[in-house]
Amino acid sequence: MKKNRSYYIERITSILAAIILLQTLFFKFTAAPESVYIFSALGMEPFGRIGIGIVELIAAILLIIRKTSFLGALLSIGLMFGAVYTHLFIIGIEVQNDGGSLFVLAILVLVCSFITLALQRNRLVLFIHTKSQQ
């Protein structure tokens, strides 16, 4: 089976989003001061930090597996909308002098997830249609 350009773009965007999500899990699961600060400011420490970390782990795994990457993208989009909203309206773009790097990573995951979802729209439509028939 010959793979077209969209296959490779989808794989790159899915895996890039998954790598970013997995990389940030270390900080959430080890209670790094920056993560504790963020989730304390949201009134979600420690259960929100750990809970969101688990959901991000699930999203990353779904993104890595091609057949489920559209589900991982959907989940990531929801998570990253929450992260971007939190940065813009609650904690600020720059958190503890990080230069806005967490905000930029959230935007990058959001964009990659939208690209993945757009390229996997056929799987999404089939998934929705199958679920509506049950």
pLDDT 10s digits, 60-115: 999 999 999 999 999 999 999 999 999 999 999 999 999 999 999 999 999 999 99
What pLDDT, in 10s, does the model give residues 13-47? 999 999 999 999 999 999 999 999 999 999 999 99
- Nearest to residue 20, comparing CAs of 98, 117, 102? 102
Burial category of 30 from C-beta neighbours within 10 Å (exposed 0-12, middle 13-18, buried 19 and up): exposed
Is residue 116 within 8 Å of 69, Cβ to Cβ? yes
Query: What is the model's pTM?
Result: 0.91
Other CB atoms within 10 Å distance of the CB of residue 113:
30
What pLDDT band is residue 126 in, cutting at 50, 70 and 90?
Answer: confident
CA 4 vs CA 8, 9, 47, 129: distances in Å: 7, 9, 43, 25
Confidence of residue 1 (pLDDT cuts 50, 70, 90): low
